[in-house]
Structure 1
């Protein structure tokens, strides 16, 4: 069953999180969240994927969604950053046993654990980002994305930009979900250039920058001059290599164009923040529908590429907040004008063909 929670959100903030240590924490201020109608605000517990905050990817995006919900909806939230996936069950049960109104898990690696906890605590609402079940429990909502569609556009862009007809895909951990990124990327690249060679490598981890760096460097040695990653925090290693070797990278999940200004030609966005905000609002409004798979795709801007022609608001906000310098902002703008702007019409054409069904993107 496909539903759309929110079509478009207002501008998203770009933040760089500096956190000491791991463990549970709260983003609520000393006064707590706003109370409405004299009732206590709803509470949301967020269990992040390994790698935690600062991945500038899906963990940070989920966190942004709850920050926005805290500010705009008056909810309270708490979060936990597991050092290892073995901690997931304890964290999920903690929030459920504390009668949180909604417990959210981030990442497909948590889906079996979350289902087990949800079945034991069937009076609590749960949601999982990137989860999939043959039969969704009645108190669980799965939040999924057509990452294969967005990755098709990333592959097409890579094939249009490469000067040597060799590009790379760097995944985190092999599996069905990351396989959808890979399949879409390869199909998009081959669609615009059947002769392009795609070097496919997996890091084996979502939070190992060193291994990500080694993987990307190996792809460059094999000739790739544009590399797309779907590797979570491990992808930070790719951006280091892009700068060192002066090749191009494509980011994922969040706008990562600011990580290596001028070397990241685009990012394939997964609106995890939109999904998290939307399911939180549904609980607040008494509209939570367990047993439902919410899908966010190209048609409702649930996935897509950052602008190929103009500065995105996140990029300008990063400069305003001095996360990047003005020179780095100008490097991003110059890269768009000199590298990707000429391909914007083609990418938009492909997007519309996917939306209309003229192009069907494979998921594997």
Structure 2
């Protein structure tokens, strides 16, 4: 009997080992492909990586971060990742749409995700998301217009492209709603990876009396914040909470919860609800965007302005205020949003 029990014990141990081995083999493998600015941008990619870390901790996934050096490497990077058998591959760049469409067609059984792009579905095996950054930009535009001492505020975009125009339109709309007389300047550095260019373009705006400048430029945004510190003006951060980068000189940050978007996409693969060809939306109502408030910008925004922010946030959530989305504007459209407001001349003349 003792020999039988011992044999059964050995079998139980072997079965347990096999189950553990099977569980290890079944661990989900995920690849994150960054934009060209890569990790360390203290902005979009770093924020998205937080979502990857959360998914790894909660779901026990294995994930790697792949960092292409340039946009020209996106397609080959995605193709190599697809060839390595990852369960899910998620990208983080608007410039990755066409490369991902090409690779998704070549690997129809591969699940892909693309965070924070446009409203059109990417491919049948790709889930994508849209952050309603125009709603968050609306809030920081209102704050800037209520805080400026010169009556002029600025906007520094990375590239002069539609997805960056989304931010500018929301920023402009919020600023003009708060103060129709405020002067809103805009400029584009032409890059998402050069802080020196960000500083140069910001200094130009400061020379035009802009004392608050909204940085929407990836890693280039660090230069906008540096310029604010050196000129004793104010910057507005983007994507992640960048208030800590220059305490007292970052008025607020327009936070985009791309970490939540990456996490939600991975969760759908884990629980079997992944659905390619769909677009997920994250706005104020969904907690996808907001104006960051913490100890680093405490006291920079007047209490009555903060109260107005809360009121306007609720009006956007209820639908009383509809912040215009650049992608919904028609070429030559003269008015935008609810309540209606004149479209800025720099945008009215552009086609989507």
TM-score between the two structures when normalised by the length of structure 1: 0.82
Deviation beyond 4 Å, 4+ runs, structure 1: 34-39
Choose which of 252, 257, 266 in structure 2 pairs with 1:271: 257
Distance in 1 (alpha carbons) for counterparts of 2:45 and 2:53: 12
Q: Aligned residue for 2:98? A: 112
Rg larger in 1 or in 2? Answer: 2
Structure 1 unaligned residues grouped into runs of 5+? 1-33, 312-331
1:175-190 to structure 2, matched below 5 A, reads 175-190=161-176
1:35/1:74 contact within 8 Å kept? no
Indicate the SS of the match to 1:200.
strand
User: Within 2, Cα distance between the matches of 1:118 and 1:224?
Assistant: 45
Q: TM-score, normalised by structure 2?
A: 0.84
Q: Which residue of 2 aligns with 1:321?
A: none
Measured in 2, the distance between the counterparts of 1:133 and 1:279 equals: 16
Matched, 1:242 2:228: yes
CA 1:248–1:284 in 2, change beyond 3 Å: closer, same or farther?
same
Residues of 2 paired with 1:37 and 1:262: CA distance?
50
Post-superposition shift, 1:134?
4.0
**1:269 counterpart SS class:** strand
Q: When the two structures are aligned, how many residues end up with a matched partner?
A: 307
Q: Aligned-residue CA RMSD in angstroms?
A: 1.5
Q: Deviations over 1:50-93 (max 9, x none)?
A: 11111111110111111111112100111111111111111111
Report Cα offsets for 1:112-142 as digits up to 9, x if no partner.
1111101110100001112336443111001
Which residue among 272, 285, 288 is the counterpart of 2:271?
285
Q: Give, in whole Å, the separation in 2 of the partners of 1:266 and 1:131.
A: 24
Mapped contact 2:88–2:269 kept (Cα < 8 A): yes
Comparing both structures, which one devotes a greater share of its residues to helix?
Answer: 2
CA gap 1:225/1:35 in 2 versus in 1, 3 angstroms: farther
Q: Does the C-alpha gap of structure 1 residues 43 and 148 become closer, same or farther in structure 2, counting only changes over 3 Å?
A: same
Where do 1:7-26 residues align within 5 Å? none
Cα shift at 1:343: 1.4
SS state at 2:324 partner: coil
Matched residues in 2 for 1:193 and 1:131: separation?
30
> 1: distance between equivalents of 2:245 and 2:22?
39
Distance 1:54 1:228, change over 3 A: same
Alpha-carbon distance change, 338 to 214 in structure 1, aligned in 2, over 3 angstroms: closer
